[in-house]
Chains A and B, each alone.
Chain A
Amino acid sequence: MVINMLSRVADSLYWMSRNIERAENNARVLKVQLIHMLEASSKDALDKEWEEILEVCASTADYYSFYERMDRETMIQYLTISPLNVNSLMNTMNYARENARATRDILPEELWEVLNQFHLDQKDWQELPNTRDHTQQYLNRVIQTSMTSQGVIESSMSRGTPYSFIKIGKWLERAEKMARILNVTCEKNRKETGGGTHHYYHWLTALHFLNGYDAYIKEHPPTMEPKNVLSFLIKERNFPRSIQYCMDHVLEAVTNLEDGKVSHYSENLFQMLEVIQNEIEESSIEDMGMEELMQFLDHFQDRCMTLSRMFSETYYLIEPVRVK
């Protein structure tokens, strides 16, 4: 299956896929948070929560470079349809469409149409009053668009080089987001050593953020042991959002891309993938304290960045639409 493909096109596909995945993940976090905030105990606690959301979906520093204080409505707007925030849902969906537009000649027509339809409707969203209802609808629409896109890709794209680049983008983005969310959750846990219901709430939220609640509950009926949640989200090989699952599939996609062979130019990439695999497999999540876990997750995020860079170098991917 070793077929040449324009590097620019490969790059666009990779970023299209990352942007779609990023939009979906951020939309879900926001959607869950909008419900959870109804149950928050105090304004202080709530503000802190929102800052965490900001850290997961964008960058707190960037936000404060535009605004002086935390205002909930401003922030929701910042995360959804603001042009200022490079990671706003509107921007990530636009990047995805631009990337798709630049590669239209090799994408299934329906995929382009799904993204284009979102773009056409988006103009209407911007004119709607900023009510909770509209925000929820918008978030649902982002999630649906992402899922429909994935459906089109799975059901109609040949399993060739373009497909592999799309998949690699998706799995890497997903793994990184998982690590980011868990990191914030661990941090919160570490600060609040009081125990009790608080913890339950944090882990429940994390599961909801990561769309893992239903799957987790089937494996571990109604307990919410942090250790169980963490090893489920990090190491569960059957759960399609766990870090382990994502990395397994990055490896699989790269292997397909290379027709199962390791060549001189792809040697470093394969080595790095192996190192990451081993680090996840050898870790015993159950025995780690919060501090250690956070180190582990930080380290993993660094690895993802290195991997992304090596991947780009191996396939001459240049000039991405946007680098974090």
Chain B
Amino acid sequence: MLTNYKTGVYFDEMMKEDGQPKNHYQWFYQLVHQFNERELMNKHETAQLNFLRQGITFTVYSHTGGTERTMPFDFVPIIIPRGDWEKIEKGMKQRMTALNHFLDDIYHEQRIVEAGVIPRDLIENNPYYYDKQIGGVRVPLNNHIFLAGVDLIRDEHGEYRVLEDNLRNPSGMSYVFQNRYVMRQVYPELFNQHSIETLEHQLSELHQSLITQVPLNAEPGKKPTAVLLTPGIYNSAYYDHVFLAQQMGIELVEGRDLVVKDDMVYMKTTRGLQRVDIIYRRIDDDFLDPEAFRPDSMLGVSGLLRAYKKGNVSILNGIGNGVADDKAMYVYVPDMIRFYLDEDPIIPNVETYFLSDPERLDYVLENIDQLVVKNVGASGGYDMLIGPQSDESEQEIFKKKIVEKPSQYIAQPTIKLSRAPAYQEGRFYPCHVDLRVFIMSGEQMNVLPGGLSRVALKEGSLVVNSSQGGGGKDTWILSESGDQHA
């Protein structure tokens, strides 16, 4: 079935250049060959329907309004051997520790600026730097990052690199669980021969992390009340919100369910008002509180920031995290790791050029057809140019944009993103993949084993975002005994 499969010049997760599977895919390879074509097609169909029936959808907006879509699921898992995973795990903890130090630092002492490691401008001109609103505010456990999602890719040598940090509202965790669930339902045969890390306890870990972040002035001795604040059913990640609230056993609230009185936050219940201590919000900073941020926000709660600053409520992830995860600050994360931890980064970045540097700018303008150019403020695969896949007119448009506002853009060499087989319409073909790893922090830090493997199902495409035709895969971390098998 994989006989005509070509790895090409790319690093392949599963296959070797000679057409044989890698060691840790040996079992899987053999098992797949026990299915016939028909079985594979049927299973594929069943898996997709499963998501639709359960309404595990995200909403895509266009000029004609929103449509609910499922994220296509591909059954070929990304299998990661124990050793590789341990390195990723350490690298993620290191990175999050440094980023958390950074956030705490720039809203207080600003040591990293004083030391000349990061230019003051870059921080102060960042649109997500909310010093005016929350500078000097102490957060519970000094923890700014309750749940992070870090996007990893592998280059042509198979080395893992960080592509992007998501420290605000990373979505997709529900898909990790649903992918595993559907995988077990539809392909139970595949699990017999593999011993993989379970996800079972991860949601209680998440809940545990959540409820340790009690605000300063919480009523002592009382179990804190935590809620998940969602923009509502029309938000593209609504299913994620439902899933997390349900699994953690906390109330799923909208802005209109909350009210601030005397700088305390309450939810409106059938018996009147009930005090809220911890808010895991999935609303962006600028919509949180019309008093403090955008006055036109219909999603937020008036007075929320006052309550936060008084230590009457915890807001997770912390307000103002956006300054640490944009594409410009990304370049400095290795420096942060050295500065705060005095360590070398375990998982490196992708090489990145600032276009505000005139020398770099010239280089980029000349070599734009070989580079990836990204808007520092955009995400989701929007406002970016993939040099080798663009035509001249597109390149011209970007050159113009860059020259107009060089500080708004960064450039990276086109990485030969690793690939893995995907199965669609009766055949296996190679698709580019990345991996979003989830890190939860409270009193302790915990990395969810595996994460969300995203796959660009359109052949040749490099964009894995679900809003642009990307799909998902289950991710298996082989447990110790599993490693010996492989």
Which A residues contact B (CB, under 8 angstroms)? 2, 4-8, 10, 98, 101-102, 104-106, 109, 112-113, 116-117, 120, 161, 315-317, 319
Contact = CB atoms under 8 A, between A and B. Distances in A.
A112 B56 CA distance: 11
Given A6-B267, A8-B268, A161-B270, A101 B55 contact: yes
B257 A102 contact: no
Nearest to B258: A6
A316 B54 contact: no
B270 to A, nearest CB: 4
Contacts of B238: 101
B417 interface: no
Contacts of B390: none
A120 B246 contact: no
Given A4-B269, A109-B54, 4 more contacts: A112-B55, A113-B54, A120-B52, A120-B53
Contact of B268 (A7, A98, A109, A120): A7
Interface residues of B, number: 23
A4 B257 contact: no
Nearest to B267: A6
Nearest to A109: B54
Q: Tell which of B232, B270, B271, B274 has the most Cβ of chain A within 10 Å.
A: B270
A116 B269 contact: no
5 contacts: A4-B269, A4-B274, A5-B269, A104-B246, A315-B270
Given A6-B251, A6-B268, A102 B233 contact: yes
Contacts of A113: 53-55
B252 interface: yes
Q: Tell which of B257, B267, B271 has the most Cβ of chain A within 10 Å.
A: B271
Contacts of B252: 105
Contacts of A2: 271
Interface in B26-66: 52-55
B427 interface: no
B270 A116 contact: no
B317 to A, nearest CB: 21
Contacts of B16: none
Contacts of B245: 105
Interface in B267-281: 267-272, 274
B250 to A, nearest CB: 9
Contacts of B272: 316
B242 interface: yes
Nearest to B239: A104
Interface in B135-153: none
B338 interface: no
Contact of B253 (A6, A104, A112, A317): A6
B53 A5 contact: no
A321 B84 CA distance: 51
A124 B254 CA distance: 33
B270 A7 contact: yes
A79 to B, nearest CB: 25
Given A98-B233, A101-B233, A104-B246, A4 B53 contact: no
Q: Tell which of B232, B245, B251, B269 has the most Cβ of chain A within 10 Å.
A: B269
B55 A316 contact: no
B188 to A, nearest CB: 20
A117 B55 CA distance: 9
Contacts of B55: 101, 104, 112-113, 116
Contacts of B253: 6
B261 interface: no
B360 interface: no
Contact of A105 (B246, B256, B271, B274): B246
Contacts of A116: 53-55
Interface in B230-245: 232-233, 238, 242, 245
Contact of B232 (A7, A102, A161): A102
A113 to B, nearest CB: 6
A260 B274 CA distance: 23
A170 to B, nearest CB: 18
B271 A4 contact: yes
A6 B54 CA distance: 24
Nearest to B232: A102
